């Protein structure tokens, strides 16, 4: 089996909020996404998806094309050999940035092909630890909502059966610590004591602010506080992690594998969050999961639940899958949620098929 062709396409995917149908005012209308179809000479097709190119999404798509061109003729089962070749031709365009975002789509498509060639769903191919994994609603309880809207949205999520959900602090404007605290309190009021509640700061606090506000919300009972300060301030994060009772999650902004070593060795986080596009694909994501396991740390996913569910389910230290609905509309069908858990698919590879009608409508 050899790689025979490829097609990368830029899409503009509407930024709906399908979980609650309540949009915060702080969103763009569309998200630029690059999708990849990688084809083999025996008729298999692997799919990959990447983004974060922003206004350089055209360059990201070109990078995917240029790298894919060098995979034609290669054996798709030899993922590490292909990665090595692409890293060599990328010279110093890596280890982060557009090179890695592009590599991620190709690596993911190769694993999809491998699963299809072996007639195994990816989660089984990668370890197959569990056939269901907890998931949490993300993207609905955003900081742009008012307290009332946040309560209403949280109730909708609970009524839909979510047992875990994430909100945000670092509110817009110039909030006092009391404003910040009130936000998580009102959400907790709406959902009761038993639903797991996470809270994302998206790097917007200084470490001392995180310690101050974080200690004042300890009795709200947060499952984790996420990206409390600048993602690569490993020492600042470590101070916060050491000071707070609430677990600290982080890692989604890091590129590749090596920064995770620094983050974990510095004891910066209690929960390791890995973004597949910034990691560089399935291959490095699983290596980071193994690194976290060696340090007795759980691992969680970032966005693209339809793909990441396989990875979290594969590893023994997979904690929960972020159910962020950004890319769900690209597919005919995505994994179902039952009793707050994602059900792993039986179909080979990623078990996903692009919805060709939706793709045609989203074409940039």
| Interacting residue ranges for Mg ion, rule: CB under 5 A | 200, 226
For residue 82, give both structure tokens.
């292909």
d(CA 317, CA 308): 14
- Are residues 114 and 77 in contact, defined by beta-carbon separation less than 8 angstroms? yes
Q: Which residues contact 204 (CB under 8 A, 6 or more apart)?
A: 170
User: 97: which residues sit within 8 A by CB, 6+ positions away?
Assistant: 255
According to DSSP, residue 218 is labeled G
Helix (H, G, I), strand (E, B) or coil at 9: strand
Residue nearest to Mg ion (CB): 200
Structure tokens at 188: 């907790």
Q: Please report which helix (H) or strand (E) contains residue 349, including its range.
A: none
Q: How far is Cα 143 from Cα 210, in angstroms, rounded to an integer?
A: 16
Q: Using DSSP, state whether 253 is helix, strand or coil.
A: coil
Using only C-alpha atoms, the chain has a radius of gyration, in whole angstroms, of 20
- The string of DSSP codes covering 28-61 is -SEEEEEEEEEEETTS-EEEEEEE--GGGHHHHH
Residue found under tokens 């038993």: 194
Phi, psi of 192 (to 5 degrees): 80, 180
List % helix, strand, coil for the chain (3-state, nearest 5): 45, 20, 35
CB of 227 to Mg ion, least distance (A): 5
> What are the E-state strand segments in 114-204?
132-141, 164-168, 196-200
Q: Could you tell me where the beta strands, DSSP code E, fall in the chain?
A: 3-14, 30-40, 45-51, 132-141, 164-168, 196-200, 224-226, 248-250, 271-275, 299-302, 318-323, 337-338, 341-343
Write out the two tokens for 104: 């991620």
């Amino acid at each position: 089996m050899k790689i025979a062709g490829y097609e990368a396409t830029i899409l503009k995917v509407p930024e709906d909020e399908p979980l609650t149908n309540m949009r915060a005012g702080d969103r763009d209308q569309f998200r630029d996404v690059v999708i990849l179809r990688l084809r083999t000479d025996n008729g298999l097709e692997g799919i990959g998806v990447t983004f974060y190119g922003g206004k350089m999404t055209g360059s990201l798509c070109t990078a995917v094309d240029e790298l894919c061109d060098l995979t034609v003729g290669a054996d798709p089962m030899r993922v590490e050999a292909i990665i090595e070749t692409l890293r060599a031709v990328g010279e110093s365009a890596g280890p982060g940035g557009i090179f890695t975002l592009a590599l991620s789509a190709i690596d993911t498509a190769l694993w999809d092909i491998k699963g299809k060639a072996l007639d195994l769903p990816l989660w089984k191919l990668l370890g197959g630890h569990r056939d269901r994994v907890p998931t949490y609603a993300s993207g609905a309880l955003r900081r742009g909502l008012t307290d009332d809207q946040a309560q209403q949205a949280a109730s909708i999520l609970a009524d839909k059966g979510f047992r875990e959900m994430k909100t945000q602090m670092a509110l817009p404007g110039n909030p006092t610590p009391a404003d910040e605290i009130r936000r998580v309190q009102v959400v907790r009021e709406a959902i009761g004591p038993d639903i797991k509640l996470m809270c994302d700061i998206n790097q917007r606090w200084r470490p001392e602010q995180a310690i101050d506000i974080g200690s004042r919300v300890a009795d709200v009972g947060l499952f984790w506080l996420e990206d409390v300060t600048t993602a690569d301030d490993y020492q600042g994060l470590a101070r916060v992690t050491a000071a707070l009772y609430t677990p600290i999650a982080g890692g989604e902004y890091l590129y590749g594998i090596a920064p995770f070593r620094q983050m974990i060795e510095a004891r910066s986080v209690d929960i390791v969050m890995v973004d597949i596009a910034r990691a560089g694909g399935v291959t490095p994501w699983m290596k980071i999961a193994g690194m976290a396991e060696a340090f007795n740390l759980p691992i969680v996913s970032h966005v693209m639940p339809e793909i990441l569910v396989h990875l979290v389910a594969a590893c023994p230290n997979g904690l929960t899958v972020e159910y962020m609905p950004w890319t769900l509309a690209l597919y005919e069908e995505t994994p179902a949620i039952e009793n707050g858990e994602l059900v792993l698919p039986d179909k080979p590879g990623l078990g996903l098929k692009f919805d060709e009608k939706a793709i045609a409508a989203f074409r940039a």
